[in-house]
Amino acid sequence: MSAAYDVASGEAATERTASPRRPWPALEIAAAAAWIGAGAITALIEEAGDFGYTQEFAFLLAGVGGAILIAALVGRAAPALGRRLRHWAPWLILIAVGSAGWELVTAKLELLPMPFFPPPQAILEVYLDDYPRLLESLVASAKLLAVGYLFGASAGFLLGVAVGWSQVVAYWTHPILRFVGPLPATAWLPLAFFLFPSSWSASTFLIALATGFPVTVLTWSGVASVHSGYYDVARTLGANRAFLVLKVAIPAALPHVFVGLFMGLGSSFAVLVVAEMLGVKAGLGWYLQWAQGWASYANMYAALIVLALGCSSLITALFKLRDRQLGWQKGVVRW
């Protein structure tokens, strides 16, 4: 009985040591305190000027701090949430301190000249009051980018496969690519707006041109670098030319293709903004030019934030697609 009792007590002790008490999430609580403190600075310190939505912005900061605090407490019982919050806690602290500093040097002390450096609540005011125009510009830019990018990526992919597979196509295409490809797409602006019937179609062509060149070159490189042994094995099993292209060359070239798609997406963003500034009647580029013309720098910063978030989201989605299609290379290229 004594031995059984000792064994049982030993198991109980093992269980207690296997699940130690989780420490308090000090870093996460510090992040919550930083956001709440930023809200207190915004709400309690008197402003040097007259800005709208100050109290609303202060409540927003304090609300984020409260959400972080709740997540930190829940994270003690949910390890995955706790690890994720702990990973981003230093950045959350930095953003809160930066917001408080931004508020102090603009709205509270006016150390930076207006209207070039508006306070953060002025940008919040843009999102709350001018969201219809900003949303319309976002939708217009998304349509233009989608059409131009998809057309350019598709044409670049097909041309890259053809050049990489056929020596005849490579002979006639390679000199043209070397001559035309390195030119920035924006250099074709005067000619594009002259040749195309509308500024929208000209902008679509420029975005497609900026996307197509890197996709073509990288796809060509991927197809050309496929080991000849793969083709020999497929031919031994009776594969025809179509099978070699669709089932051997293209799958083996996909890592290069996705690199070209990333590069093309980055180039298309630059061309999108420039093209919208010069021609189209709606879009984030047009909105930026309109805000600058009226010295509405808060609107300009708000549009830049939307543009940055949109670009980052699209690249993240493309990386998710890459990891899904190329599972054996997941984590090789990070974003």
Residue 157 sits in a domain whose CATH number is 1.10.3720.10
Write down the pLDDT at residue 217. Answer: 92
Spans of the chain, pLDDT less than 50:
1-19
Residues 165 and 245 in one domain: yes
Quote the DSSP letter at residue 282.
S
Residue 267 lies in a domain: yes
Look at residue 334 in the predicted model and tell me its pLDDT. Answer: 61
Same domain, residue pair 193 and 72: no
Q: Are residues 71 and 141 in the same domain?
A: no
Return d(Cα 121, Cα 119) in angstroms, integer.
6
- CA separation for the pair 308, 324 (Å, rounded): 24
Answer yes or no: do 62 and 146 share one domain: no
Let me know if 61 is exposed, middle or buried by CB neighbors in 10 A (0-12, 13-18, 19+). Answer: buried
**Host domain of residue 188:** 131-329
For the chain, the domain total comes to: 2
* 152 and 105 in a common domain: no
pLDDT at 18: 46
Contacts (Cβ under 8 Å, ≥6 apart) of 163: 169, 170, 173, 174, 177, 216, 220, 223
Residue 77: predicted pLDDT: 85
pLDDT the model gives residue 12: 46
Look up the pTM and report it: 0.81
Give the HSE-up count for residue 217: Cα atoms under 13 Å, Cβ half-sphere. 17
The answer on 313 and 171 residing in a single domain is: yes
